[in-house]
């Protein structure tokens, strides 16, 4: 395997020689199916008796962080775990509905580790690292065993085997599920494992504690600065390694399917301290969400992709047809996905389904009062399978839809429209999940790894748990085995400086006493991002956004109003800090989208499309991971490129026809 062409230093100042950062992805060589095994064997171990001498900070208690903290605790390390919710079991992972992929091939329908690897590389539009994706497919089978052993109540079929269903971008059924609550059930499994370690004393849990900065000493990540969200107390925490498993940044768009609390602060602060940001513009727009109804909304609701197993997507053939669905005869309906993509039909990947929904709505054939909706119709499935079967499969999702829209989806088709859902971008990490700051590891949705330019459904849970249960415990041990534990305490000047910066920023926000709410700035940023860096992007729009976002950021710092005080529970203050970071990240996303002058996956540059409107990649010039370094000037970050090589899955124009 050839080495990346570029070696680059990060900008955190002093750095000891052995910790010079580079964009070396550290992928092992050799046949792809042997790389992880070989690497695991070659990595160093920490003697069980020595493990308690090392402290590891894990920020995040969702599937990635919860799994990592529990496993490292079980192995005997001294772990400190942080989350901003009141309990680790409230992490956003709890919202995941549809399922988790694994190459178990219980259905005997042609699945294999290689096929999951292939589907994921192709589904990501050839913008992911092959070695990482293969490892993900390999450990997917271990995840299911681990979760079953924890008691996760996966659905089963009559013979007792775990049941599977299909998700987009695959022609096999490999998605394991627990009704529409897969994330919740998996999180309960990880949470039990974590609680066990908390009770055993190997993990100390800090709930309602927000990380507001990373502390870097001599080029290594050595700790974090936190704020107690109830008392406002700012504290220092030192460690030998830090893991960020802090989730995705989809809320930069204001409206998304993410929980309101999801934010970018942890990874953005680490980026400012030297961690490169990978592919920031790669965001996922999910095709099946409840359409926006007005300006009053602060959140959008996902209708799980699993519904596309039995629901048929259509719009009227005629423009402006405002008849209720029941009055539109079969011959006047356009089942556009089935028509256009006969092999995958309604189960095309998310980017393809979203773009097609936008296309038919742009043609004036959208449904609902806004015209921004398409039907997801279960009438045929109810006729074929009977209502009880549909209730059994999707009952809680149908109830949720009925409660939100006041319509009965058993009687009238659901109306759905694409919405921001997931971020494939995140901090750049090497094969060991280590960022460009030595000792800083990044897991789950917070890193950029594995999904390329488009994530396949049910693969985020797989990646989070793979990272937490099966990758980090090895790669962190390898890192720790090469350093001496401790040797630093929180009296170090770097901690004092980071703490002063956090306190200063908090005070500044409180003192501004401007005229506009935090939400008003967030809403405007979200609209810019959705209009110019959303489902479709073009050069003129991105340039417009790049002009407006810095202006908006200045207005925020002059005129935002944050009521209340710092030494108390203050949700407006929490929000203000997060929105300030979104205002910086948004600019980087637009810059990344502008630089990548190709279409790939969820990144659709209007200038780069095939004759029939599909995303057109430019493999010659754009087969790279973009990794951005912070330079101190937000409008002038430095772009580094990790070249991508495809030895096994040869890049081709993606076709789901």
Ligand X SMILES: Cc1cc2nc3c(=O)[nH]c(=O)nc-3n(C[C@H](O)[C@H](O)[C@H](O)COP(=O)(O)OP(=O)(O)OC[C@H]3O[C@@H](n4cnc5c(N)ncnc54)[C@H](O)[C@@H]3O)c2cc1C
Q: Residues in the site for ligand X, rule: CB under 6 A?
A: 59-65, 82-85, 91-93, 95-100, 182-183, 210-211, 245-248, 257-258, 262, 265-266, 302, 421-422, 444-446, 458-461, 464
CA dist., res. 337 & res. 73, Å (int): 47
Residue 324 CB, shortest distance to ligand X, in Å, is 28
414-423 and 374-377: which strand pairing? antiparallel
Q: Which is nearer to ligand X, 360 or 434 (CB)?
A: 434
CA 477 to chain centre: 25
Secondary structure class of 563 (helix, strand, coil): coil
Helix axes 63-75, 472-480, angle to 10 degrees: 50
Alpha helices per DSSP H over 201-283: 265-272
Active site residue 51: no
Pick between residue 89 and residue 603 the one whose CB is nearest to ligand X.
Answer: 89
For residue 556, give the H/E element and its range.
helix 539-559
Q: Describe the crossing of helices 518-533 and 539-559 by its angle, rounded to 10 degrees.
A: 170
Please identify, using beta-carbon distances, which residue of 95 and 488 lies nearer to ligand X: 95
Q: Toward ligand X, which CB reaches closer, 99 or 349?
A: 99
Number of helical H runs and strand E runs in the chain: 18, 19
Name the residue nearer to ligand X (CB basis): 434 or 622.
434
Shorter beta-carbon distance to ligand X: residue 427 or 545: 427
C-beta of 6: minimal distance to ligand X in Å? 28
Q: What Rg do the C-alpha atoms of the chain give, in angstroms?
A: 24
For the purposes of burial, counting CB atoms within 10 Å of the CB of 566, is it exposed (0-12), middle (13-18) or buried (19 or more)?
Answer: middle
59, 264 contact by CB (below 8 A): no
Min separation Cβ 90 and ligand X, Å: 8
Separation between Cα atoms, residue 647 and residue 131, nearest integer Å: 10
Main-chain dihedrals φ then ψ at residue 416, nearest 5 degrees: -130, 160
Quote the DSSP letter at residue 359. Answer: H
Judged by beta carbon, residue 168 or residue 541, the one nearer ligand X is 168
* Residue 156: burial class (beta carbons within 10 Å; 0-12, 13-18, 19+): exposed
Q: Smallest Cα–Cα separation from 573: which of 503, 496, 499?
A: 503
For residue 458, the number of C-alpha atoms closer than 13 Å in the C-beta half-sphere is 33
Per-residue tokens: 122 = 């192709």
Q: How far is the CB of 112 from ligand X (least distance, A)?
A: 20
CB atoms within 10 A of CB 374: 31
Of 50 and 490, which has the nearer Cβ to ligand X?
490
Q: How far is the CB of 374 from ligand X (least distance, A)?
A: 19
For residues 409 and 402, is the Cβ–Cβ distance under 8 A?
yes
CB 246 within 8 A of CB 267: yes
Residue 49: CB minimum distance to ligand X, A: 31
Selected catalytic residue, list 135, 179, 308, 350: 350
Closest alpha carbon to 434 in 399, 401, 474: 474
Nearer to ligand X, 144 or 262 (CB): 262
The residues pairing with 377 across neighbouring beta strands, listed in sequence order, are 312
Backbone φ and ψ of 554, nearest 5°: -65, -45
- One-character DSSP codes across 306-327: GGGGT-EEEEESSTT--S-GGG
Q: CB 29 → ligand X: shortest distance, Å? A: 29
Grouping H, G, I as helix, E, B as strand and the rest as coil, residue 60 is coil
Catalytic residues: 350
């Amino acid at each position: 395997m050839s080495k990346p062409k570029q070696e680059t230093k990060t900008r955190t100042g002093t750095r000891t020689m052995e910790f010079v950062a580079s964009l070396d992805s550290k992928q092992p060589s050799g046949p792809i199916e042997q790389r992880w095994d070989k690497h695991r064997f070659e990595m160093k171990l920490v003697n069980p008796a020595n493990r308690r001498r090392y402290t590891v900070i894990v920020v995040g208690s969702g599937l990635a962080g919860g799994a990592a903290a529990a496993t490292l605790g079980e192995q005997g390390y001294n772990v400190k775990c942080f989350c901003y919710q009141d309990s680790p079991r409230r992490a956003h992972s709890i919202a995941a509905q549809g399922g988790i992929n694994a190459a178990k091939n219980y259905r005997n329908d042609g699945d294999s580790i290689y096929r999951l690897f292939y589907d994921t590389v192709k589904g990501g539009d050839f913008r992911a690292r092959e070695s990482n994706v293969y490892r993900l497919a390999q450990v997917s089978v271990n995840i299911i065993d681990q979760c079953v052993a924890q008691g996760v109540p996966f659905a089963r079929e009559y013979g007792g085997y775990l049941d599977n269903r299909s998700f987009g971008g695959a022609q096999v059924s490999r998605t394991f599920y627990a009704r529409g609550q897969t994330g919740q059930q998996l999180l309960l499994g990880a949470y039990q494992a974590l609680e066990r370690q908390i009770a055993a004393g190997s993990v100390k849990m800090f709930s309602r504690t927000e990380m507001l900065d990373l502390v870097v000493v001599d080029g290594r990540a050595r700790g974090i600065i936190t704020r107690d969200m109830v008392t406002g107390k700012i504290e220092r925490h030192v460690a030998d390694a830090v893991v960020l498993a802090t989730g995705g940044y989809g809320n930069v768009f204001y409206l998304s399917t993410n929980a309101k609390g999801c934010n970018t602060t942890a990874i953005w602060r680490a980026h400012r301290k030297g961690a490169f940001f990978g592919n920031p513009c790669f965001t996922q727009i999910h095709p099946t969400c409840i359409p926006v109804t007005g300006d009053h909304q602060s959140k959008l609701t996902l209708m799980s992709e699993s519904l596309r197993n039995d629901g048929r997507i259509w719009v009227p053939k005629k423009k402006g047809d405002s008849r209720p669905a029941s009055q539109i005869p079969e011959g006047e309906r356009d089942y556009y996905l089935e028509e256009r993509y006969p092999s995958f039909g309604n189960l095309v990947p998310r980017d393809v389904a979203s773009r097609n929904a936008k296309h038919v709505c742009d043609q004036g054939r959208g449904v609902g009062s806004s015209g921004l909706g398409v039907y997801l119709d279960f009438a045929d499935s109810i006729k074929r399978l009977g209502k009880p079967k549909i209730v059994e499969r999707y009952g809680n999702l149908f109830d949720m839809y009925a409660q939100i829209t006041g319509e009965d989806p058993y009687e009238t088709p659901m109306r759905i429209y694409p919405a921001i859902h997931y971020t494939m971008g995140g901090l750049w990490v090497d094969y060991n999940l280590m960022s460009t700051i030595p000792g800083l590891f990044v897991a789950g949705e917070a890193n950029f790894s594995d999904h390329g330019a488009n994530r396949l459904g049910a693969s985020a849970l797989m990646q989070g748990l793979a990272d937490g249960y099966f990758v980090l415990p090895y790669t962190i041990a390898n890192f720790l085995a090469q350093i001496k534990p401790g040797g630093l305490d929180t009296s170090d000047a770097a901690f004092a400086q980071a703490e002063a910066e956090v306190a200063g920023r908090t005070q500044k926000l409180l003192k501004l006493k401007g005229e506009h709410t935090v939400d008003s700035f967030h809403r405007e940023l979200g609209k810019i991002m959705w209009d110019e860096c959303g489902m479709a992007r073009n050069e003129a729009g991105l340039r417009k956004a790049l002009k407006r976002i810095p202006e908006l950021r200045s207005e925020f710092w002059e005129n935002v109003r944050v009521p209340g005080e710092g030494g108390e529970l203050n949700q407006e203050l929490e929000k203000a800090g997060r929105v300030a970071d979104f205002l910086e990240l948004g600019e980087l996303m637009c810059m990344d989208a502008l630089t990548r002058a190709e279409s790939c996956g969820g990144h659709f540059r209007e200038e780069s499309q095939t004759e029939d409107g599909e995303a057109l990649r430019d493999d010659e010039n754009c087969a790279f991971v973009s990794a951005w370094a912070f330079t101190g000037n937000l409008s002038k970050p430095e772009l580094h490129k990790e070249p991508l090589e495809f030895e096994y899955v040869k890049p081709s124009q993606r076709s789901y026809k």
